[in-house]
Structure 1
């Protein structure tokens, strides 16, 4: 069985987003090989589903790189010494229903940040205490947020609520958090896909990478539009 790691070094040119190393189920050798090849052309490399502790152990094999973890979860950044400062183009918000949703939300926030967005994270404002959501939403809209990612497990209802209160795109990020019939995020996913509130798009369960990339593209497009209209 072939175990070769094949890295798409041309992805940033084609799509505006670099390849992201998915660490889950990869061996240490496979992660190191993938990161080596990306670091040869990218000053900063995103590695998801690996965790900071494991990545710091592996980083010694990658030469002069630092491991950064700007947000909670299992997604980290490898940075070469010549890595530029990440620019802030467009404002992305990441809201979580519960603190337990922060791993998937942190993945989304890290990706959006690394793709050049200003990111605001608001945690633990789920529908069990909906009053907690009101002021953060007001603050985000006043601060020209371009898109909002809403991470929720259990019943997955928060994205529908948020979408009905704002005039910017909302991305539902179902998480695998929840008891029994929450079914590892399937209930949250079904709730979001069944939403009656227009303006909500939904990614797969725990797919913070997909949510972060999608949000960054929306935020960048909004920033270009705003600059062009001035």
Structure 2
């Protein structure tokens, strides 16, 4: 098992994007961590800021005590910016753009140049090759996958994916982050589908086969097929069904 560094608890955390995954920022702020949420254009930043603020207000409304609620307006706790230069002081960066290898490598190349030598660089991915992403940097030992299952502010599981060169302290730090924000970190090797998607594959295959066998009878998007799949999965204790993506 990996022990995590105690000093990590008081470091600042910066998320490279918030538009697609506001739940990650929400989880960090709920844990009283200092967060700078960064986007690359004003429109996306405004959309992301509204999404994060809405989630924080919703989470705060669930807390019965007064004075302990997460404050989305506290500049000391959460800031929104377009300025990449703030990354130079980051202890840890979480990149959370959509699953585009070229885009992720472009961002990690930039992060490697901007961030201080001790910064840890995390990518939120459910399937992409960690080693290929790390190859865009000069510090592959500090690159790691942190796959937050969606919605990130609700789901407890975080896959911690180490690459060929990821150092033990990087793994330990990612595990410490997961524990700090109340998540369950699971260390995974850099393999196709990691753990979650590989476990789901045998469950999905029969469903795909069924659809391929009977497409004329039950078009996939009709209410009939939706109701049928829901009934089957509900009876097997899975309310979401095999075609809800694991992201």
Q: Is this a same-fold pair by TM over 0.5?
A: no
TM-score by length of 1: 0.35
TM-score w.r.t. length of structure 2 = 0.33
Q: Which has the larger radius of gyration?
A: 2
